[in-house]
Amino acid sequence: MIADIHLHSSRMIPFPIRILYKFKHRKTLLPAFSLKDMKKIGLDFAFINGVGDPALLKFYSFKSNYSGLKNQIKKLVKEIYNSNCILYDNFNSISQGIQEKKPVCLLAIEGADFLENKIERLQEIYDMGVRGLCLVHFSDNCIGKINTDVLSMVISSKIKEIEEKQGGLTEFGLDVIREMNRLSMVIDLAHGSSETLFDAVKISNKPILVSHTGVRAIQDFSRYLTDNEIKAVIEKDGLIGLWPFYFKGKGMKDLQAFVEHAKYLKNLASSRNIAIGTDANGLPDAMMGYRFEKDIHNIGNYLIESGFNKEEVANIMGNNITQFLKKIESQTIK
């Protein structure tokens, strides 16, 4: 099983912003990856993330943010089916994918701004096929706080020194965690402030994940996790997706740096708590050794070369996420 727990459709950024974004990062932007290529490159499973940010949703509908979100979901579901992939419904979908020899796509949304303090919308998007939600993305919202300014990084091509935001989940955010637990939806804490992460871990009775990040002890980058944050995720039987991002001197420069993060997590926690979240089609640039989604296999090969055994690599490359999803549906943590 080869899995990526965070990527996007190649049409994730709507026209005309997509044209401007490509022009801005024309010297570093990776080639677009189509979901139709999943089977060809041997990618068996992926979280396909839409975006819930108001600045982007207006391009999917001028009526309202929520209308734009629903239009985007419909487009993503159609794209998944047209790519001859299986839309993940529950854990049985993975067995179906293996039996039918088709890739499986779990539909998620990055940024829950569209909820707008209406808890019933979680059930509505669940009924449309969404099974995962990254609570915050580009900006603070009705759920909680982001950890740092992302817009300056991906749009203005600037990476500021760490400017940690204070504050965690709102009262509505706490209700969102409870409702996601009830629905067995995947809770993704990437982009969340430290307090947001700790608040979510404290109240959730299901395992949680951080889909694309790294280790703060290795590099002082605000999108990375501290040891205490890592331990909190692991104590919740959670999963941490390592992110092959590299831009303006921040992130993982090459495969060796990626493995350094993996070894640190293995020693602090376990190889059972590591996955890969590439952010494909959402990266302004990436590390050497990962320039296209097919290069995810380079990561597995380099992990072997660097001393990880075959079982550990198989877990990191895909088996860990399947076990995580199984626990989401069957396991309740006090």
266-299: per-residue pLDDT in tens? 999 899 999 999 999 988 899 999 999 999 999 9
Task: Please state, in angstroms and rounded to a whole number, the distance separating the CA atoms of residues 168 and 189.
Answer: 11
pLDDT of residue 30: 86
CB proximity list for 135: less than 8 A, separation 6 or greater: 111, 112, 141, 143, 144, 173, 176, 187, 188, 189, 191, 192, 196, 200
pLDDT of residue 27: 83
Mean pLDDT throughout 78-85? 97
Distance CA 284, CA 123 (A): 33
Q: Which pTM was predicted?
A: 0.93
Query: How does residue 162 score in pLDDT terms, banded at 50, 70 and 90?
Result: very low
In the predicted structure, residue 152 carries a pLDDT above the cut 70: no
Q: Is the pLDDT of residue 201 over 90?
A: yes
**Domain count across the chain:** 1
pLDDT band at 159 (very low <50, low <70, confident <90, very high): low
Domain that holds residue 267: 3-330
Which residues are CB-contacts of 126 (< 8 A; sequence separation ≥ 6)?
183, 185
Task: Using CB atoms within 10 Å of the CB of residue 78, give its burial: 0 to 12 exposed, 13 to 18 middle, 19+ buried.
Answer: exposed
- Gap between the Cα atoms of 11 and 4, Å rounded: 18
Residue with tokens 């955010």: 173
Q: What percent of the chain has pLDDT over 90?
A: 75
Give the tens place of pLDDT for each residue, 30-75: 888 999 999 999 999 999 999 988 877 777 777 788 998 999 999 9
Predicted confidence (pLDDT) at residue 182 exceeds the cutoff of 80: yes
The pLDDT value given to residue 318? 97
Question: What confidence score (pLDDT) does residue 105 get?
Answer: 98
What value does the mean pLDDT take over residues 1-22? 83
CATH number at residue 123: 3.20.20.140
What tokens were used for 43?
A: 């990618």
Give the DSSP letter string of 148-195. Answer: S-SHHHHTS---PSP-PPP----HHHHHHHHHHHHHTPEEE-TTB-HH
pLDDT in the model for residue 11: 77
Q: Which residues pair with 146 in a beta bridge?
A: 192
Q: Span 212-227, mean pLDDT?
A: 95
pLDDT (0 to 100) of residue 20: 75
**Residues 109, 187: Cα–Cα separation, whole Å:** 10
Determine the Cα–Cα distance for residues 22 and 247; give it in Å rounded to an integer: 15
Cα–Cα distance, 218 to 4 (Å, whole number): 23
